[in-house]
Amino acid sequence: MADVKIIVGLGNPGPQYARNRHNLGFQVIDILARRHNIDLSRSQNKARFGDGFISQRRTPDPGNPFGGLAERQKVLLVKPITYMNNSGEAVVPLMRYYDVTVENLLVIHDDLDLASAQLRLRPGGGSGGQNGIKSIIRLLGGEQGFARARMGIGRPPGRMNPADYVLQNFSADEENEFGLLRETAADAVEYWLFEGVQAAMNKFNG
């Protein structure tokens, strides 16, 4: 599959985890799939995924009755079905099968160390303790140069165990701000596809 980019959302498979904090990555993949009519029913290498095209939208030209659609990019939208800690077992085989380099990979994930409902893109680096990212780096042989979209969930209150906190659903009040965060993260991923990670950081890391 020529010139394909892989967008991975991290999470845990199964309906009992679907609305958890830890599944923000899956939730953004679902938004992208809906926006661009990409069917996520394919299974391969411990992943559920779909392939399709995402088109770049530019400012509409009043003189152009067909709107401002420009170039389009072939993508794979991926949800590992390995559970979070083994995400690399899904991601890395797909990268190798489709001959995708780390520069054409973006991973969306929740982040305990980022303030609640904050979005930060980064071009690479360590795992920051995020076990899904840690698994991907390990199976890439230590390679860290893939883009991330980090979605802050903040630290758990009081003495709550972080492992319990990430497996909680969002409260009704939190859904208001996290609903916006998911849509913004999807916007940022689309921007990354055509403008690159540095431009996406400049636009969305404000």
Specify the residue for token string 């779909």.
50
Cα–Cα distance, 203 to 184 (Å, whole number) = 11
Cα–Cα distance, 31 to 24 (Å, whole number) = 11
Cα–Cα distance, 38 to 49 (Å, whole number) = 9
List of residues 6+ apart from 146 with CB closer than 8 A: 102, 103, 105, 106, 107, 124, 136, 140
Rg (CA), the chain: 17
| Catalytic choice (7, 9, 10, 22) | 22
Please provide residue 194's backbone torsions phi and psi, each rounded to the nearest 5 degrees.
-110, -25
Is 109 annotated in the active site? Answer: no
Alpha helices per DSSP H over the chain: 24-35, 88-97, 131-139, 162-166, 172-195, 197-204
The H-or-E segment that residue 55 falls in is strand 47-57
The H-or-E segment that residue 111 falls in is strand 105-111
Which residues carry out catalysis? Answer: 22
